[in-house]
């Protein structure tokens, strides 16, 4: 404050005096603002949410497979199953072809590999039987499935260009970003009025900082040719609310939360860029599994308890929840490419990893996170195996394990006994839930205004009960919109997966989405006594560095599934080949030339 020039200082003082000097004016201003916030949010989000929910990414074509009848079938994935079954990616309706005959998989550098999937009549490339561990295949090779001959043909650059032109364009981000900036600026101004003397400059500065970072991020990526920013805009919107919630409940932590958002964006970029290369991803899966175990054991060894769960560690004065980052590692380890799914069909090791994670979480009494891991596990296991029998068995086992746990430690059950009866125990076990509901109702549809609530005085209000704080200070409309944001991400991820390149992206995106959705479910419904209160965070919104980091990190998995043309930085732009690059269809000299050309384009 002392550092401010005298004129600015005077201006600030006048501004801060305004509510007292002109109460009528200020009352009208506040009232209009309370209506304006939801309107801005609706204008900003409805277009984005609609774009995400309605997006139908066109399948990309990676090569053609010419069939004996003269037709050619596009290969729309990196991983294709060839067979007679209607569930095949390339349907070959010949009696000699097995239901699931062979897999044709595109690796890095357009190297194709063929695997025989235990067909009756065998798979051959140029007359040679395919090796059990897969045989490489180049454009122009003849792939024979039990006598049915097909040829792998390239896609011309003209066609690629035409397809990209025809593809659905993501909505322009600028309108929403401008609205979000206005939203952030008005929030900053509001905190200029309501903040205490100590934080009067810090809080508005934090919002302006966030707006700046948001614009830098979008402009830089737009400059690099990327066009889809819906997910990021949603994340930035929720992060803005997170800053506002933190500013109300713990103004001193705002810089830390802002830093967490920056680091989250960095993590988002790192994970996203890393995900571009599947070979790279495949190599570190083991490392990631070990990472998940390491992070969880770290919190078990060094952890100390907060709000009943011993999942916090303190390092160099920073409190940290390793279990949040373990979620990212876990999804890395759990998702798998189709190739792996065929070579190793059972889920044994993955179940082992899950068991270890759940065990650690149970020891930490962090049942909310354990439930999130379990649901994520179920989603991954179902996507990988599609086997209901195994899954029911696992669920049965989990229920049994839960019953044993409850028998051994009956006090756990008592923590959940208040569920559905919060108002009957309003002063003890239902304390947090009843206050959340009361504060939420007090906000009405438009909220009482940022910084004007009281729920933040209840413990864990800005984390576990953050939905109540949103309802109270921002109103039901914005609170519902923020949940709708998460739901829109989920619908979008599922739609993108329809045009997925590899099963790794599909599984990872679905797992990350399910995790975010289920975590939101537990947080929102737990805080208002529709589900038991388990103490998990609202992705992107809750105050907390590790949770913020993890949310952005998980978003990278969704970003990597966005195959709309040029939309996502986590996806390599489709390469043009310049001259024909036709594998062994072309002379070897030409081939090298083509490669060089391509390198120039990269």
Partner 1 sequence: MKKIERRTVVCLALTLLLLLGLGLFVVRFFWDGEDWASFAANRHLYNSQGQLSVGRVLDRDGDVLTWVDESGNRQYYANQTVRMATLHAVGDPNGAIGTSALVAFAGELSGYNFLTGADNPFGPGNDLYLTLDAHLNYVAYQALNGKRGAVGVYNYETGEILCMVSTPTFDPANPPEIQEGDEQYEGVYVNRFLSSTFTPGSSFKTVTLTAAIENIPDLFQRTFTCTGSTTVGGEEITCPYAHGTMDINAAFASSCNGVFARLAAELGADTMSEYVEKAGLLGHYSVDGISTAAGSYDVAGASEGQLGWSGVGQYNDLVNPCAMMVWMGGIAGGGRAAVPHLIQEVDGGIPLPSLPFGRETGALIQGDTAQVLANMMAQNVVQTYGSGRFPNMDICAKSGTAEVGGGKQPNAWFVGFLRNADAPYAFAVVVEEGGSGASAAGNVAARVLDALVNGD
Question: Interface with partner 1 by CB under 8 A: which residues?
Answer: 27, 31, 34, 77, 79-81, 87-89, 338, 375, 378-379, 382-383, 386, 426, 434-435, 437-449, 452, 454, 457, 471-472, 475-476, 480, 483, 486-487, 490-491, 493-494, 497-498, 500, 503, 506-507, 510, 513-514, 517-518, 520-521, 524-525, 528, 530-531
Contact 545, 260 (CB under 8 A): yes
CB nearer to partner 1: give 333 or 440.
440
Cβ 215 to partner 1 shortest distance, Å: 31
Give the C-alpha separation, 390 to 292, whole Å.
24
CB nearer to partner 1: give 188 or 509.
509
Cα angle value 461/516/365 (rounded, 5°): 60
Cβ 423 to partner 1 shortest distance, Å: 9
Give the C-alpha separation, 546 to 601, whole Å.
39
Cβ 414 to partner 1 shortest distance, Å: 23
CB nearer to partner 1: give 295 or 429.
429
CB nearer to partner 1: give 257 or 482.
482
CB nearer to partner 1: give 80 or 546.
80
Which tokens belong to 211? Answer: 């707006």
φ and ψ at residue 114, rounded to 5 degrees: -110, 135
Cβ 518 to partner 1 shortest distance, Å: 6
Cβ 448 to partner 1 shortest distance, Å: 4
CB nearer to partner 1: give 105 or 296.
105
Contact 422, 435 (CB under 8 A): no
Contact 24, 209 (CB under 8 A): no
CB nearer to partner 1: give 104 or 188.
104
Cβ 467 to partner 1 shortest distance, Å: 9
Q: Are strands 79-83 and 148-153 parallel, antiparallel or unpaired?
A: unpaired
Cβ 128 to partner 1 shortest distance, Å: 26
Cβ 63 to partner 1 shortest distance, Å: 14
Cβ 34 to partner 1 shortest distance, Å: 7
By the 10 Å C-beta count (0-12 exposed, 13-18 middle, 19+ buried), 166 is classed as exposed
Residue 94: other Cβ atoms inside 10 A:
15
Give the C-alpha separation, 289 to 409, whole Å.
29
CB nearer to partner 1: give 137 or 206.
137
CB nearer to partner 1: give 512 or 547.
512
Cβ 381 to partner 1 shortest distance, Å: 10
Contact 250, 459 (CB under 8 A): no
Give the C-alpha separation, 296 to 326, whole Å.
7
Q: Is 528 helix (H, G, I), strand (E, B) or coil?
A: coil
CB nearer to partner 1: give 438 or 576.
438
CB nearer to partner 1: give 107 or 444.
444
Residue 103 per-residue DSSP state = E
CB nearer to partner 1: give 168 or 438.
438
Contact 20, 194 (CB under 8 A): no
Cβ 517 to partner 1 shortest distance, Å: 5
Question: For tokens 């049965």, what's the residue?
Answer: 396
Contact 472, 448 (CB under 8 A): yes
The DSSP-derived string for 432-501 is HHHHHHHHHHHHTTT-S-TT--SGGGSTTTTTTTHHHHIIIIIHHHHHHHHHHHHHHHHHHHHHHHTT-S
Give the C-alpha separation, 174 to 227, whole Å.
11
Contact 367, 522 (CB under 8 A): no
Contact 335, 344 (CB under 8 A): no
Cβ 378 to partner 1 shortest distance, Å: 8
């Amino acid at each position: 404050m002392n550092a401010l020039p005298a004129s600015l200082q005077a201006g600030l003082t006048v501004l801060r005096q305004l509510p007292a000097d002109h109460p009528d004016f200020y009352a009208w201003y506040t009232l209009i603002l309370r209506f304006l916030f939801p309107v801005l949010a609706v204008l900003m989000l409805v277009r984005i949410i609609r774009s995400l929910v309605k997006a139908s990414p066109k399948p990309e074509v990676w090569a053609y497979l010419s069939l004996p009848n003269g037709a050619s079938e596009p290969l729309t994935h990196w991983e294709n199953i060839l067979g007679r079954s209607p569930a095949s990616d390339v349907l070959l309706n010949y009696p000699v072809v097995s239901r699931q005959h062979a897999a044709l998989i595109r690796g890095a550098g357009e190297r194709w590999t063929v695997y025989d999937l235990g067909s009756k009549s065998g798979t051959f490339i140029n007359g040679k039987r395919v090796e059990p561990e897969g045989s490489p295949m180049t454009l122009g090779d003849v792939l024979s499935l039990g006598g049915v001959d097909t040829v792998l043909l390239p896609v011309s650059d003209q066609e690629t260009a035409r397809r990209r032109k025809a593809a659905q364009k993501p909505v322009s981000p600028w309108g929403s970003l401008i609205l979000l900036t206005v939203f952030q600026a008005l929030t900053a101004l509001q905190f200029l009025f309501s903040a205490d003397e100590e934080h009067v400059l810090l809080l508005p500065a934090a919002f302006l900082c966030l707006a700046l970072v948001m614009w830098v991020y979008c402009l830089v990526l737009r400059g690099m040719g990327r066009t889809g920013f819906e997910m990021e805009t949603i994340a930035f919107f929720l992060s803005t609310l997170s800053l506002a919630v933190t500013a109300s409940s713990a103004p001193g932590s705002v810089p830390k939360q802002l830093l967490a958002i920056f680091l989250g964006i960095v993590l988002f970029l790192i994970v996203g860029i890393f995900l571009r290369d599947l070979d790279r991803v495949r190599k570190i899966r083991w490392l990631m599994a070990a990472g998940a175990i390491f992070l969880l054991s770290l919190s078990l060894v060094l952890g100390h308890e907060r709000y009943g769960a011993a999942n916090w560690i303190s390092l160099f004065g920073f409190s940290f929840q390793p279990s949040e980052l373990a979620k990212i590692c876990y999804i890395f380890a759990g998702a798998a490419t189709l190739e792996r799914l065929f070579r190793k069909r059972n889920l044994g090791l993955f179940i082992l990893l899950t068991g270890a994670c759940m065990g650690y979480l149970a020891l930490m009494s962090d049942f909310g996170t354990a439930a999130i891991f379990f649901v994520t596990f179920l989603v991954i296991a179902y996507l990988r195996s599609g086997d209901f029998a195994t899954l029911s068995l696992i669920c049965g086992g989990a229920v049994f394990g839960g019953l044993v746990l409850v028998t051994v430690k009956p006090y756990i059950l008592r923590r959940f006994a208040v569920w559905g009866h919060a108002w009957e125990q309003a002063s003890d076990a239902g304390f947090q839930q009843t206050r959340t509901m009361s504060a939420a109702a007090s906000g009405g549809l438009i909220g009482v205004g940022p910084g004007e609530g009281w729920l933040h005085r209840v413990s864990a209000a800005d984390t576990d009960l953050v939905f109540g704080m949103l309802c109270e200070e921002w109103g039901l409309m914005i609170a519902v919109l923020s949940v709708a944001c998460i739901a829109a991400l989920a619908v979008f991820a599922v739609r993108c997966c329809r045009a997925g390149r590899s099963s790794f992206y599909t599984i990872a995106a679905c797992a990350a989405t399910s995790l975010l959705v289920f975590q939101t479910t537990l947080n929102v419904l737990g805080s208002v006594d529709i589900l038991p209160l388990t103490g998990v965070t609202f992705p992107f919104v809750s105050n907390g560095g590790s949770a913020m980091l993890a949310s952005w990190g998980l978003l990278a998995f969704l970003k990597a599934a966005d195959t709309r043309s040029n939309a996502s930085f986590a996806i390599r732009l489709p390469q043009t080949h310049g001259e024909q690059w036709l594998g062994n269809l072309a002379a070897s000299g030409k081939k090298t030339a083509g490669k060089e050309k391509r390198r120039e384009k990269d």
